[in-house]
């Protein structure tokens, strides 16, 4: 490679001086290239990436077909706006509809934006019916729905809301898996229930199937939107295209983002016809959403997942990951709960050692995520192999077993 990169400490200095301090001291690494599940840092060291940029790089790094098609797209056209028809946008909408519970799709650029759009659509559906007082949404404690003001209000974690109180939107938070509380929270003011099927950001907590079914039933009974936030669980991460398929439910509205573009920013609001038809021309919009580049990325990701075996690989590797972690748990008394589904996995330790274990893994060339003080998050690219997982398991065992420093 002929590019000349800044050193890590040079980048750090620029960041400290010019970037808003929302991330504090970051993990002291800066990557310059990647290939498959590997990332190369600016000092030349190679790491195995079991976090995929927070569950985003679904095809890993520098996936040959994605690189080729995106390069072609960049050389022909990046942006035209939705003032005009966009071929890739229409084709990706078709691909999502043909493979999901949705009848129509709208593309935006991030997960939070998709969730805001879902909230607007659910409200609009009630307005169309003349039910103007249905302005509340029921969401769950310890949920995460994004960082815009409405999605921060939807998020059921105080730490994300506190700096911005009072929030103007009305979201009622109930305890996950508490059917009674959920039933009580739904009133003649409610426009929808929004849930993640596996709460990712708060430590990988799957919801009970019974609770999810009851949420769907309540929505149907009250004619309000059953919204599933699939920003993290969607696009093959759980071994199916969307996680709601595991639960035997059919959301009115669901959102996708993270893995959909294989690293290129794209979000999607997906809805059945009944709800989708509440949006009329002018009701919603976007400048960047659904542009030729991001929707080309989405087309490659969906095609690779469904027609080229990547989702089957995710299902196989995910099952193998859980099998190996459960074996490891028998050898490592420090390991408590192992939660999640397929390639969305949380490993909870019985003591607050997650940061230390994460740092040791990193020293040995393995990248994972850390939530709170005691949970490791494992969300590798969907192309991860069993051999990669063997390396991960060996390294976790080493990191957990070595004496405290």
Ligand X SMILES: *Cc1c(COP(=O)(O)O)cnc(C)c1O
Give me the residues that bind ligand X (CB under 6 A), please: 110-112, 115, 144-146, 196, 200-201, 229, 231-232, 257-258
* DSSP secondary structure, 197-209, as one string: SEETTTT-EEPPH
Alpha helices in 105-196 (DSSP H): 111-128, 149-154, 158-161, 179-185
Q: Shortest distance, CB of residue 204 to ligand X, whole angstroms?
A: 11
DSSP state of 224: -
Residue nearest to ligand X (CB): 111
Query: The tokens of 49 are what?
Result: 């990436």
Calpha distance 143→196 (Å, rounded): 7
Calpha distance 43→36 (Å, rounded): 19
Instruction: Find the Cα–Cα–Cα–Cα dihedral 64, 65, 71, 75, rounded to 10°.
Output: 150
CB-nearer residue toward ligand X: 136 or 229 = 229
CB-nearer residue toward ligand X: 200 or 263 = 200
CB-nearer residue toward ligand X: 202 or 313 = 202
Query: The tokens of 404 are what?
Result: 């405290």
Q: Shortest distance, CB of residue 310 to ligand X, whole angstroms?
A: 20
CB-nearer residue toward ligand X: 257 or 311 = 257
Helix or strand (DSSP H, E) at 173? strand 171-174
* Cβ atoms < 10 Å from Cβ of 280: 9
Q: Shortest distance, CB of residue 193 to ligand X, whole angstroms?
A: 15
CB-nearer residue toward ligand X: 36 or 380 = 380
Q: Shortest distance, CB of residue 114 to ligand X, whole angstroms?
A: 8
Comparing CA positions, the residue from 285, 379, 326, 185 lying closest to residue 194 is 185
Query: The tokens of 396 are what?
Result: 């976790």
Q: Shortest distance, CB of residue 256 to ligand X, whole angstroms?
A: 10
Q: Shortest distance, CB of residue 158 to ligand X, whole angstroms?
A: 17
Q: Shortest distance, CB of residue 35 to ligand X, whole angstroms?
A: 25
Could you report how far apart the first and last alpha carbons of the chain are, in Å? 38
3-state secondary structure of 343: coil
CB-nearer residue toward ligand X: 239 or 267 = 267
The DSSP bridge partners found for residue 139 are 173
Q: Shortest distance, CB of residue 344 to ligand X, whole angstroms?
A: 10
Rg (CA), the chain: 21
């Amino acid at each position: 490679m002929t590019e000349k990169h800044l050193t890590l400490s040079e980048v750090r200095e620029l960041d400290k001086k010019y970037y808003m301090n929302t991330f504090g001291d970051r993990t002291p690494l800066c990557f310059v290239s990647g290939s498959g599940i590997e990332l190369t840092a600016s000092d030349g060291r190679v790491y195995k990436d079991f976090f995929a940029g927070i569950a985003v790089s679904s095809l890993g790094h520098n996936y040959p077909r994605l690189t080729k098609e995106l390069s072609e797209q960049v050389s022909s056209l990046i942006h035209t706006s939705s003032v005009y028809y966009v071929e890739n946008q229409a084709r990706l909408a078709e691909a999502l509809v043909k493979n999901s519970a949705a009848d129509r799709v709208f593309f935006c650029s991030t997960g939070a934006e998709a969730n805001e759009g879902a909230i607007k659509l659910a409200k609009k559906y009630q307005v169309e019916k003349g039910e103007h007082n249905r302005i509340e949404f029921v969401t769950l404690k310890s949920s995460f729905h994004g960082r815009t003001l409405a999605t921060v209000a939807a998020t059921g974690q105080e730490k994300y809301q506190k700096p911005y109180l009072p929030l103007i939107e009305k979201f009622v938070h109930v305890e996950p898996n508490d059917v009674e509380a959920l039933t009580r929270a739904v009133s003649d003011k409610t426009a929808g229930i929004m849930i993640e099927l596996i709460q990712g950001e708060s430590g990988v907590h799957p919801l009970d199937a019974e609770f999810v079914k009851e949420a769907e039933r309540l929505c149907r009974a009250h004619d309000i939107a059953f919204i599933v936030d699939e920003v993290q669980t969607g696009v093959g991460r759980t071994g199916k295209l969307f996680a709601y398929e595991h639960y035997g439910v059919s959301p009115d509205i669901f959102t996708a983002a993270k893995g959909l573009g294989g690293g290129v920013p794209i979000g999607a609001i997906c809805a059945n016809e009944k709800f989708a038809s509440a949006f009329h021309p002018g009701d919603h919009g976007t400048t960047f959403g659904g542009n030729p580049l991001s929707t080309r990325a989405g087309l490659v990701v969906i095609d690779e997942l469904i027609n080229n075996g990547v989702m089957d690989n995710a299902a196989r590797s995910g099952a193998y990951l859980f099998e190996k972690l459960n074996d490891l748990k028998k050898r490592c008394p420090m390991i408590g709960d192992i939660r999640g589904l397929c390639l969305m996995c949380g490993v909870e330790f019985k003591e607050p050692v997650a940061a230390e274990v994460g740092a040791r893994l990193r020293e040995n060339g393995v990248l994972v995520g850390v939530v709170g003080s005691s949970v490791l998050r494992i969300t590798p690219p969907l192309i991860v192999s069993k051999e990669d997982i063997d390396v991960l398991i060996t390294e976790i065992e080493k990191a957990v077993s070595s004496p405290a420093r």
